[in-house]
Structure 1
Amino acid sequence: MAFEQHVLTLAGDTPGTHATLYSYTAGPEDAQVKVHLQAALHADEQPGTMALHHLLPMLRDADEKGQLRARFTVFPSVNPLGLATRTLRTHIGRYDLVTGVNYNRRWPDLYQLVAEAVEGRFTDDPDANVALLRKAVGDWLDAQQPGTAAEELRLAVLRSAHDADIVLDLHCDSDSLKHIFTSPELMPGLQDLADWMQVSATLTAEDSGGGSFDEMLPQLYRKAARANPDRPLPMAVETATLEYRGQADVFDDVGLADAKALFGFFASRGLIGADPGPRPVPAPAATPFDATEVVRVDRPGLLAYRVELGQKVTKGQPIADLIAMDGPGAFIVRTPVLAGTDGFVLSRALSKYVPRGGSIAKIVGTQPLASRAGGYLLED
């Protein structure tokens, strides 16, 4: 039996402190395909952890039956540092409180770090080139000496993910329908994942501007290929951020359904020798992330939504009212907040008090927006 729990103790940055990172492995160590799964990189986002809680026994049982055809590594809650950041009864699991950095931002530009080590060494063998690139990243990781707990955590996660073939990062939005973020080259290849998840949208971008975890490995292969156009360097990884609804959607029945869908996806790929079940209804095709409007408000106030999740809207349509909380019309005046594009409402804000500049909704359209061209596509 290969199903195994692993425990890594991360040294704390202050006297007498530490954090514990748990992971599980399952499947043959010499399997040709490696899968890396993680949840709660934003530690205040728990739907993915619930899904992996239900998936782990499925993988354990499949492992005992000899059904696993891939090597699975699972981090059910990948950010113990973020789990500890509770202040005045509020969980602030999205940001490192020491640096202010979002835990899912500023992941390293791996090709820049290994470009010198691989220069002139690629051949006409694509498999050998992928192996060379992965080894170079592995060697760089082995040479690092983390200076903080956050750096140690990132290096531990990177050691697992850097040579994986499938990397799925489980998140959630504030109040949202299911959706996926991924790289454009990976679609329609990951359409089967979108189908099994039954997402409302798959949003694609080469670089959304923040150095997100799911963009790190595609950037490695993309940059290597562009820097070596005369050598075959395939996109040797499938990565995606899976957004499992909203923060409040943490329930056993929902997590179990999500786990069954993930199991079905892997089984349909032949990575688990089990019946995946009926093929799901096709999900919508991917759209570019810069066709999705992030609606922001130009003043603080109290939100009163006029639209539901999934509702179709047109440009100029009021999607919410912002109730004034100061000035002559305080708590009386309502200002409409208008949609800036045609599309459907993918997400809303869970907290209805919003500051000036706060994002209150994402509207998924089909045509790239001039306001989003070449900019920072993420909410924060």
Structure 2
Amino acid sequence: MKNYTHTTIPVRTLASGQILNIDVFRFEGDPSVPSAYIQSGMHGAELQGTAVIDFLIRFFTDHPPKGTVTLVPAANPYALNNKTGEYTQGRFDPTYGDNWNRLYWDALNNEDGIDIENLVKTIRSDAQNSIQKILRHELTRKLEQQLQKPLTEMGYGRKLALTLQRMAVEADSVLDLHCASHSVRHVYAPEYARQTVRYLNIPYVLFIPNLFAGAMDEAVFCPWWTLSQKLSVPCPVEAYTIELGNQEAYSAKDARGDAMGIINYLVHRGTCDPIKPKGRDSAESLFACRLQDYKTIYSPTGGLCEFSTVTGGIVPAQEPLAVILTKAGNEKISVALPYDCIPIVQYSSAALHQGVELLKVFSKWEVM
């Protein structure tokens, strides 16, 4: 027997008249218990998150969560359908070039956004309602105002982002599942979540500051983080971007491990009951890097590339990371760095142009 609701939300009408929808699975729980919102596939080629959410649907059907959990397995159907040959070209809007994950609404830095100083005064004078209730009500009201604007005033990407953000604003934990070219699993976490991020069981963490750059996690945590700082209280809402390995890859087997890490995190957030049999409680050690120390390495030339190292390993300074053949018969060019690093993301094609993002690396890190 199903213990969840499955609804669809129309998000775009195509030239053919076909309507694209997003599926929303909602497990209703105790409203006094922390809730969660999990989505995947904002970039079309990010397939592994859909496998993870499929596992979560089946798991929560047999093991209902204590709190409400909302799951969106394919957040951007238009991007998923954007194919060129065998490949899914779904990271950017094919018409305007926008990154789909940079179109969320900034609740704090808009003329029609939230006045955080007035909100602080309201909270301090309101003994009846909690911080969560007051800010969530205000965020919900403002997002609904944005969604009520005519379609002639917003593009598809913006409307989609607002639709997803409106669902996410109701949750205490927001997990946005992505993939990144050829990469090791890693997570973007707000700096205040140093203790709880380890329960996701992902060993590579990027700690990001309270700055909005258009992504879902920032759209969620920036208002809460800012308000918490002004009131000198712990931040009650957490949001993460979780990178589940390579784009264009799908593995139901790997999805179980990914999902169990998420479930373990939700147990520690109070949304789920403890897992039986209990798995690993948290990552034994985390390699943590600040966003400012996460470096993009660009290809110094065009050609055919062979990487000399694997993602996730520590590479000593001056050791080759990649070798590029510019032309057959020419001398090969070795790419190395003057500092130790941990490669996290590699360019996914062996054929590359000069100036593409060859690698992303931790240039400095701490072991937690």
Q: Structure 1 counterpart of 2:90, which letter?
A: G
Query: Are 1:45 and 2:46 an aligned pair?
Result: yes
Partner of residue 316, structure 1:
318
Would the aligned equivalents of 1:13 and 1:149 in 2 still touch at CA under 8 Å? no
Contact 1:82 1:94 in 2 (8 A): yes
Amino acid at match of 1:263: I
**Cα offset for 1:291?**
2.1
For 2:310 and 2:84, how far apart are their aligned partners in 1?
Answer: 32
Of 47-56 and 265-274, more deviation after overlay is shown by 265-274
1:93 equivalent to 2:90? Answer: yes
- 2:353 maps to a residue whose letter is P
Bigger Cα displacement from structure 2, 129-138 vs 271-280: 271-280
Tell me: CA distance 1:107–1:177, structure 2 relative to 1, closer, same or farther (3 Å).
same
Give the corresponding residue for 2:241. 241
Could you report, residue by residue, the CA deviation over 1:312-344 in whole angstroms, capped at 9, with x for unpaired residues?
Answer: 21222221111114xxxx552211111243122
Aligned match of 2:305: 303
Secondary structure of 2:101's aligned partner:
coil
CA distance 1:203–1:333, change in 2 (3 Å): same
Aligned pair 1:206/2:209, yes or no? yes
Which residue in 2 is equivalent to 1:364? 362
Paired residues of 2:33 and 2:271 also in contact (CA < 8 A)? no
Which residue of the partner structure matches residue 115 of structure 2? 116
Are the aligned partners of 1:295 and 1:340 in contact in 2 as well (CA < 8 Å)? no
Q: 1:296: how far off?
A: 1.2
Q: State the match for 1:165 in structure 2.
A: 172
Shift of 1:53: 1.1
Q: List gaps (5 residues or longer) in structure 1.
A: 369-380
Matches within 5 A, 1:281-360: 281-325=283-327, 331-360=329-358
RMSD (CA atoms): 2.5
Aligned-residue sequence identity (percent) comes to 20
Alignment deviations for residues 168-196 of structure 1 (CA, whole Å, 9 cap, x no partner): 01111211211111111111232222x3x
Residue correspondence of structure 1 range 49-88 to structure 2 within 5 A: 49-63=50-64, 68-88=65-85
Aligned pair partner of 1:190 in 189, 193, 197: 197
2:161 maps to amino acid:
R
Taking structure 2 as the reference length, the TM-score comes to 0.87
TM-score normalised over the length of structure 1: 0.84
Q: Distance in 1 between matches of 2:329 and 2:212?
A: 37
Residue identity matched to 2:215: S
Question: Aligned pair in 2 of structure 1 residues 304, 11: CA closer, same or farther (>3 Å)?
Answer: closer
Q: Cα 1:11–1:249, aligned 2, differ >3 Å: closer, same or farther? A: closer
Equivalent residue, structure 2, for 1:18: 19
Counterpart AA for 1:80:
P
SS in 1 for 2:324: strand
Structure 1 residues 123 and 331: alpha-carbon distance in aligned structure 2, compared to 1, 3 A threshold: farther
Tell me how far apart the structure 2 counterparts of residues 259 and 115 of structure 1 sit (CA, whole Å).
35
Question: Where does residue 371 of structure 1 map in the other structure?
Answer: none
Q: Does the 8 Å CA contact 1:182/1:215 hold for their aligned counterparts? A: no
Pick closer, same or farther for the CA change 1:30–1:5 going to 2, 3 Å.
same
Distance across 1 between alignment mates of 2:12 and 2:333: 50
| Residues 123 and 129, structure 1, Cα contact 8 Å, conserved in 2 | no
- The letter of the residue matching 1:348 is Q
Measure, in 2, the Cα distance between the counterparts of 1:158 and 1:367. Answer: 32
2: CA distance between counterparts of 1:222 and 1:261? Answer: 24
**2:210, 2:353 → 1: CA distance?**
27
What corresponds to 1:150 in structure 2?
Answer: 157
Task: Evaluate the alpha carbon distance shift between residue 246 and residue 125 of structure 1 in structure 2; reply closer, same or farther with a 3 A threshold.
Answer: farther
Residue 350 to residue 8, structure 1, CA distance change in 2 (3 Å): same
Give the C-alpha shift of residue 161 in structure 1. 0.5
C-alpha change, 1:340 and 1:367, in structure 2 (3 Å) is farther
Distance 2:103 2:223 in 1: 14
Gapped runs of 5+ residues in structure 2? none
- Is it true that 1:179 corresponds to 2:177 in the alignment? no
Question: 1:122 aligns to what SS in structure 2?
Answer: helix
* C-alpha contact (below 8 Å) 2:29/2:66 kept by paired residues: yes
Q: Which residue, 124, 129, 132 being the options, matches 2:131?
A: 129
Deviations 1:274-304 (A, max 9, x none): 4351334523153212223222112212112
Rounded to whole Å, the distance in 1 between the matches of 2:288 and 2:365 is 12
- The CA distance in 1 between the partners of 2:304 and 2:166, in whole Å, is 44
Question: What is the deviation of 1:159?
Answer: 1.3
